[in-house]
Structure 1
């Protein structure tokens, strides 16, 4: 890592507010909106919550929503209004007709971060091989917050948070604010 990058990271704030939004119609129908990943049998949400907290950040919001455009948009907007620096969605990034996370959130971005999706797919190749082309993981900026749209699998969220998002969160927020 070069000296300029080290200086940017050194000057970055160390703890941030995270919001997690799990998108699953079947889980929503069974558990409702949920207030915790544990109460919603949300393995990916629990992994994300644990990683966020283990890295010294705060979870300010968790919710479970149906894979419907209006519910997804409302949940992201609400998380930002609650002060989340980082909003992470999980689920609904695939190719099935019911996967509408990307169609819901990307048009709301003020700026996209195409490098996130590219890097995520590159790193995911080691785990799932060419099936990586089926994910439409994406990220962007909304209202001074960074929003990451991740697949729903536990391996995907662990990879995205531990290898990409958490190591760069301070650097990202410093630049967007």
Structure 2
């Protein structure tokens, strides 16, 4: 099936989402990027199950992401994707992501370049599938910059248009059966041995 067919099959499916703002300085009163994500996801018909501001701290970021893994279908973060000393989101995300979606970061930087020029190279926006440590990856993770215009760009141009399609792709097939060790004959010369 084509991507257009998949989009048609999935377009009316609301996605359960979480928004995490990663910042040492933002509060709920001035978190315009997190609010833009929450409002944009709701406006697109998705369900916001969780919103939180966490500090730029690797353990805090990891803890909230693992808490959300498998509980929502998509997590969108804002903040911590730059090259500053306190920017840790990408290091944490890359350790948790089991199936990267490199196209998200590539497309985001291309679109950003069209808006802001060479400064787009400082964005390390990324995406992929992650899950609880002992389970298959089935939760989408999008890591966006902290600036509100960048968040709106990622949301409007990349996330919202294909979010139901992405979730449909992840969930359309049952998970693989649990792996079990193969049993080999003890004697390599036994019948059936290779």
Give the aligned partner of residue 164 of structure 1: 158
Three-state SS of the structure 1 residue aligned to 2:13 is: coil
- Unmatched runs of 5 consecutive residues or more in structure 1: 32-38
Three-state SS of the structure 2 residue aligned to 1:51 is: helix
Where do residues 83-98 of structure 1 align in structure 2 (5 Å cutoff)? 83-98=71-86
Where do residues 138-153 of structure 1 align in structure 2 (5 Å cutoff)? 138-143=126-131, 144-153=138-147
Give the aligned partner of residue 120 of structure 2: 132
Give the aligned partner of residue 122 of structure 1: 110
User: Equivalents in 2 of 1:62, 1:51: separation in Å?
Assistant: 13
Give the aligned partner of residue 176 of structure 1: 170
Give the aligned partner of residue 66 of structure 1: 55
User: Equivalents in 2 of 1:166, 1:117: separation in Å?
Assistant: 15
User: Equivalents in 2 of 1:42, 1:26: separation in Å?
Assistant: 9
Three-state SS of the structure 1 residue aligned to 2:25 is: helix
Q: Which has the larger radius of gyration?
A: 2
User: Equivalents in 2 of 1:40, 1:109: separation in Å?
Assistant: 31
User: Equivalents in 2 of 1:163, 1:65: separation in Å?
Assistant: 26
Give the aligned partner of residue 7 of structure 2: 9
Three-state SS of the structure 2 residue aligned to 1:93 is: coil
Count, aligned residues:
164
Runs of 4+ in 1 over 6 A off after TM superposition: none
1:41 aligns with 2:30: yes
Three-state SS of the structure 1 residue aligned to 2:45 is: coil
Three-state SS of the structure 2 residue aligned to 1:156 is: helix
* 1:105 shift after superposition: 1.2
- Unmatched runs of 5 consecutive residues or more in structure 2: 132-137, 172-194
User: Equivalents in 2 of 1:63, 1:108: separation in Å?
Assistant: 19
- The normalised TM-score by structure 1 is 0.88
- The normalised TM-score by structure 2 is 0.81
* 1:102 paired residue among 64, 67, 90: 90
